[in-house]
Structure 1
Amino acid sequence: MAEIAATLELDATDLRILDQLQRDASLTNQALATVVHTSPATCLRRVKRLVDAGVIERQVALLSPQRLGAGLTAIVEVTLDRQGAEHLQAFEARAVADAEVRQCYRVTPGPDFLLMLQVADMPAYHALVQRLFTQDANVRNVKAFFSVHRAKFEPGLALPSPTLSS
Structure 2
Amino acid sequence: MDEIDRRILNALQVDASQTNAELAAAVHISPPTCLRRVKQLRESGVIQREVAIVAPEKVGPSLTALVEISLDIQAAERMTAFEALVANEAAVLQCYRVAPGPDFVLVVQVADMPAYNALAHRLFTSHANVRNVKAYFSTFRSKFETRISL
Which residue does the alignment assign to 2:96?
105
Separation of aligned partners in 2, 1:32 and 1:134: 48
Which residue does the alignment assign to 2:64?
73
Instruction: Output one character per residue of 1:73-107: Cα deviation in whole Å (capped at 9) or x when no partner.
Output: 10000001111112111111111110000001111
Separation of aligned partners in 2, 1:107 and 1:14: 31
Given the two structures, how large is their TM-score scaled by the length of structure 1? 0.86
Q: Is 1:70–1:118's contact at 8 Å kept on the other side of the alignment?
A: no
C-alpha displacement of 1:50: 1.5
For the aligned residue pairs, the C-alpha RMSD in angstroms reads 1.1
Percent of pairs with identical residues: 59
Query: 145-154 vs 49-58, which deviates more?
Result: 49-58
| Aligned with 2:51 (options 28, 49, 60) | 60
Q: Is 1:32–1:43's contact at 8 Å kept on the other side of the alignment?
A: yes
| Aligned with 1:34 (options 9, 25, 30) | 25
What amino acid is aligned across from residue 72 of structure 1 in structure 2? Answer: L
Which residue does the alignment assign to 1:10?
2
> Which runs of structure 1 show a deviation greater than 6 angstroms over 4 or more consecutive aligned residues?
none
Residue 145 of structure 1 aligns to a residue whose secondary structure is strand
Separation of aligned partners in 1, 2:61 and 2:54: 10
C-alpha displacement of 1:53: 2.3
Instruction: Output one character per residue of 1:116-136: Cα deviation in whole Å (capped at 9) or x when no partner.
Output: 000111011001001000101
Separation of aligned partners in 2, 1:71 and 1:122: 9
Which residue does the alignment assign to 2:132?
141
C-alpha displacement of 1:68: 2.1
Residue 15 of structure 1 aligns to a residue whose secondary structure is helix
Separation of aligned partners in 2, 1:138 and 1:109: 18
Separation of aligned partners in 1, 2:59 and 2:85: 24
Separation of aligned partners in 1, 2:12 and 2:132: 40
Which residue does the alignment assign to 1:154?
145
Unmatched 5+ residue regions in structure 1?
Answer: 1-8, 160-166
Unmatched 5+ residue regions in structure 2?
Answer: none
Given the two structures, how large is their TM-score scaled by the length of structure 2? 0.95
